[in-house]
Amino acid sequence: MAAHPLLVRAAQCIEQARALNDEFPEKHTMPAEVTKKIDALLGEASRCKRQVQREAQLTDLDGWLKEPDYKHDMSGGDGSGALTAADVSGVYTTDKERKEAAQKAFMSFVRKGWAGMPDEMKAALVEDTQGEVLIPADFAGAILRELPRQAVLRNLAFIRPTSKNKVDVGVVNIAAAGWGKLEVTGGPAADGLAADPADKDTITVWDLNALVKIGVDELEDSDEDLAGVISEALSLKIAEMEDDAFAVGNGTSQPQGVAVAAGITQGIVAAAGQVVTGDELKRTSFQVPAQFRKSANAAWIGHTSAEEKIALLKDANGNYLLQPNTAAGEPSTLMGYRWYTVDGLPAITTTSDVGAGTDKSVIFGDWRQGYMVADRRRLTVTRLEERYADEGKIGLLFRHRVGGAVIRPKAFAWYKL
């Protein structure tokens, strides 16, 4: 493996400095120009060392950000107070102090904008080329960490962190295996992969914008709970918008929805429109191959209009098929699988004649294997000071970046009602 060019440069400088130093064993005999040359060589070696250390730190942080399922804590750490980095003035601060400074600077930006902030606070925030402020990790983490609990489909799907605008599906596909001679054919992959999503098996990351309007007087008078109010409102709205997109998104300006994915061709059409039967539900689950049907990640999702009808179904012993879970916060179960209500799915309508279901109001499948969420995991905000001035309000435009698509159509089946 080739040595880093900066390390090579540092080694050369050190070697030259040592050679000059060895020419003059007695320091008092060393000419001033030689001393100056040695100091310059050692300074250059030190500069190379610092640059290599910075690159190593950036690589380490980039790997940390790309950890699967965000193993790192975005909520503030343990606040140990260890010295970690120096600011622009050379004064060392603790990780906790820098986080607190960023949080304080962000809230000052929300209340006063750039013009009303002192320079030392501005230095704690980062503004991109579009004039958007990167929200501090602690504040963004408080919002994004709530999404798996408040959203349904994000909590079920496979989450792929990314720093790019497009994400390769990037899976290993065991196309065939067998004893003895293996006949290689051009048939479809056995694991359910298909050409969906299109564009060479990539998922595009889209912008999800959320506008928060706050009265100018409220900004000036609110206490520290303002951060909590904004965080709670944003996490609820983002979770709602994500669920809707993951359910029925068009895939061209937002994530692709599972109910509209063209690759999912298997399912059951109700014999009578808007009429749910236990047998048809059971048959729906069997439209999915056993590897997905028997997975611990297999689950039902359905619109409230479908759930209402399913909730009235009973078995031969008079027991309801949809069973509530006695554990707090746990979903109900239907035929041994978890049931989740997703009102982003199509509601049962009366647009079709009796005897021909048209609405994919219920979906069954293995969500972890079948659906991928590409997550930029970064929030930005733009402060709109003049646009809502006539209302006596300030606008805060938050931008969340996320993509999603069905990656294994065979992992799902629909029930049309």
pLDDT score for 77: 43
CATH number of 137-170+190-417: 3.90.1690
Among residues 44, 47, 397, 28, the alpha carbon closest in space to that of 209 is found at 397
Helix-then-strand count for the chain, H and E = 14, 16
**pLDDT tens digits for 285-331?**
999 999 999 999 999 999 999 999 999 999 889 999 999 887 777 88
Tokens of 137: 């990790």
Mean per-residue pLDDT pooled into runs of 10, the chain (417 residues): 76 85 73 83 87 80 60 44 46 63 77 74 69 70 68 87 76 54 53 46 84 77 68 81 91 90 91 88 95 93 93 92 83 93 86 58 94 83 82 84 91 93
pLDDT score for 258: 93
As a whole number of angstroms, the distance between CA 358 and CA 349 comes to 9
Sheet holding 298-302, edge to edge: 267-269, 412-416, 360-366, 298-302, 337-341, 332-334, 322-323
Q: pTM here?
A: 0.65
> Which contacts qualify for 385-393: CB closer than 8 Å, 24 or more apart?
385/113, 388/213, 391/213, 392/215, 392/216, 392/217, 393/213, 393/214, 393/215, 393/216
pLDDT score for 27: 60
pLDDT score for 237: 83
Domain ranges (residues) in the chain: 5-64, 94-125, 137-170+190-417
pLDDT score for 79: 43
What is the β-pairing status of strands 412-416 and 267-269? parallel
